[in-house]
C-alpha cells in the first residue's frame, strides 16, 4: 500500500522598513530572489483500479464469469484480475466447460492483457499441463480458487484446485502458481488419487483426501490424509509442512 505524503506550506511575512538613502520597498512585491521558478513535471501515467474494470470486456466469446479474484501477483500496481469462466458444453447433458485466465495492466499499451491461460500453460519442470483441458472430452471443474501470500512477501500466489471426473470422481490437482517474471511458474503441484477438499488459511492451504489401499473400493478409502501446505523458509519454497493420517471406521 503506497503512502500519501502531505506537504505543509508555511508563509513568512517580512516587514521591510526604509533606510536613509535606500528606496522604499513596495509592500507585497517579492524580491527577485523570492520569485518562484516555474517547474514542469512529466505526465505520470494513471494507474487504473482493477476492481472497476468491466469483467465482461475480458471474457472469452460465449463464456460467462463464475468467479473473479483481485491480487497483486507481481508486486507492481495495479492488482491483477483472475477470471474463472465457463461455456456450455456441446451436449446439454454435460457440465459446463471451464476456463481460467489472469489479466494485467499494460501501461505501454494502456490496456488489460491476458498474462495467464490455463488452457495452454505447461509446467516447465515436469511438462505437466495444461491446467485445464477446456474440452467436452475432459470433465473438469474448478471448485477451489484463491490468492494466498505464502511467503508473506507482498507477492501472493494463485491457488487452483482442478477436479476431474468421469463415471465417478477422479483426481484433484492442486496447482500453486506465481508470477514474478515474464511468465507464470509452478511453485507446487500435487494430485490426489480420488477427489479431495481444500481449506484456505492466511498463508497455508489444507488438503484432505482419501488414502486408498489395494482392496479399497472407490467409495470407501481405508484412511483420510490431511496435508498442510505452506512456505518453508529453509529451502525457500512451498512444501507440505505437515501430514497426518487417520483410519476410517468401516461399517
For residue 215, the model assigns a pLDDT of 87
Give dist(CA 76, CA 32) in Å, integer. Answer: 44
Cα 170 to Cα 174: distance, rounded to the nearest angstrom: 13
HSE-CB at 190 with a 13 A cutoff on CA atoms is: 17
Cβ atoms 137, 178 nearer than 8 A = no
What local confidence, expressed as pLDDT, does residue 10 receive? 28
Nearest to 115 by CA among 129, 101, 98, 133: 101
Give, for all 251 residues of the chain, the pLDDT tens digit: 332 222 223 233 233 343 344 444 444 444 444 454 555 455 666 889 999 999 999 999 999 999 999 999 999 999 999 999 999 988 888 889 999 999 999 999 999 999 999 999 999 888 999 999 988 778 999 999 999 999 999 999 999 999 998 777 899 999 999 999 889 999 999 999 999 999 999 999 999 999 999 988 888 999 999 999 999 999 999 999 999 999 988 76
User: What pLDDT, on a 0 to 100 scale, did the predictor assign at position 23?
Assistant: 42
Q: Which residue's C-alpha cell is 500496481?
A: 77
CA distances from 66 to 51, 100, 104, 120, 225 (A): 16, 10, 19, 20, 30
Q: Residue 19: what pLDDT? A: 38
Task: Look at residue 13 in the predicted model and tell me its pLDDT.
Answer: 29
Give the C-alpha separation, 86 to 99, whole Å: 6
Which residues share a beta bridge with 113?
A: 104
Q: What is the pLDDT of residue 45?
A: 65
Instruction: Give, in order, the Cα–Cα distances in Å from 179 to each of 11, 72, 139.
Output: 49, 10, 27
Q: Which of 36, 58, 35 is nearest to 48 (CA)?
A: 58
The per-residue pLDDT for 44 is: 60
Cα dihedral 38, 41, 42, 45, rounded to 10, equals -140
Question: What is the pLDDT at residue 84?
Answer: 98
Instruction: Give yes or no for a contact between 210 and 227, defined as CB atoms under 8 angstroms apart.
Output: no
Q: How many angstroms separate the CA atoms of 132 and 138, rounded?
A: 9
Euclidean distance between CA atoms 116 and 132, whole angstroms: 12
Amino acid at each position: 500500500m503506497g503512502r500519501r505524503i502531505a506537504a505543509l506550506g508555511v508563509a513568512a511575512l517580512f516587514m521591510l522598513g526604509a533606510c536613509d538613502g535606500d528606496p522604499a520597498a513596495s509592500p507585497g512585491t517579492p524580491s527577485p530572489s523570492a520569485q518562484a521558478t516555474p517547474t514542469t513535471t512529466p505526465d505520470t501515467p494513471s494507474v487504473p483500479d482493477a476492481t472497476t474494470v468491466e469483467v465482461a470486456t475480458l471474457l472469452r466469446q460465449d463464456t460467462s464469469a463464475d468467479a473473479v479474484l483481485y491480487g497483486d501477483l507481481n508486486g507492481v500496481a495495479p492488482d491483477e484480475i483472475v477470471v474463472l469462466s465457463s461455456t456450455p458444453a456441446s451436449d446439454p447433458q454435460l457440465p459446463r466447460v471451464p476456463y481460467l485466465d489472469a489479466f494485467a495492466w499494460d501501461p505501454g499499451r494502456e490496456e488489460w492483457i491476458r498474462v495467464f491461460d490455463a488452457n495452454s500453460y505447461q509446467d516447465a519442470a515436469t511438462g505437466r499441463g495444461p491446467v485445464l483441458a477446456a474440452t467436452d472430452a475432459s470433465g473438469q471443474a474448478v471448485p477451489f480458487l484463491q490468492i494466498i501470500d505464502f511467503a508473506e512477501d507482498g507477492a501472493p500466489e494463485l491457488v487452483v484446485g482442478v477436479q476431474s471426473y468421469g463415471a465417478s470422481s477422479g483426481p484433484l490437482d492442486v496447482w500453486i502458481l506465481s508470477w514474478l517474471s515474464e511468465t507464470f511458474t509452478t511453485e507446487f503441484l500435487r494430485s490426489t488419487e480420488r477427489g479431495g477438499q481444500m481449506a484456505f488459511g492466511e498463508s497455508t492451504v489444507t488438503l484432505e483426501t482419501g488414502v486408498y489401499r489395494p482392496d479399497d473400493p472407490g467409495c470407501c478409502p481405508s484412511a483420510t490424509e490431511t496435508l498442510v501446505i505452506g512456505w518453508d523458509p529453509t529451502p525457500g519454497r512451498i512444501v507440505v509442512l505437515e501430514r497426518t493420517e487417520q483410519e476410517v471406521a468401516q461399517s
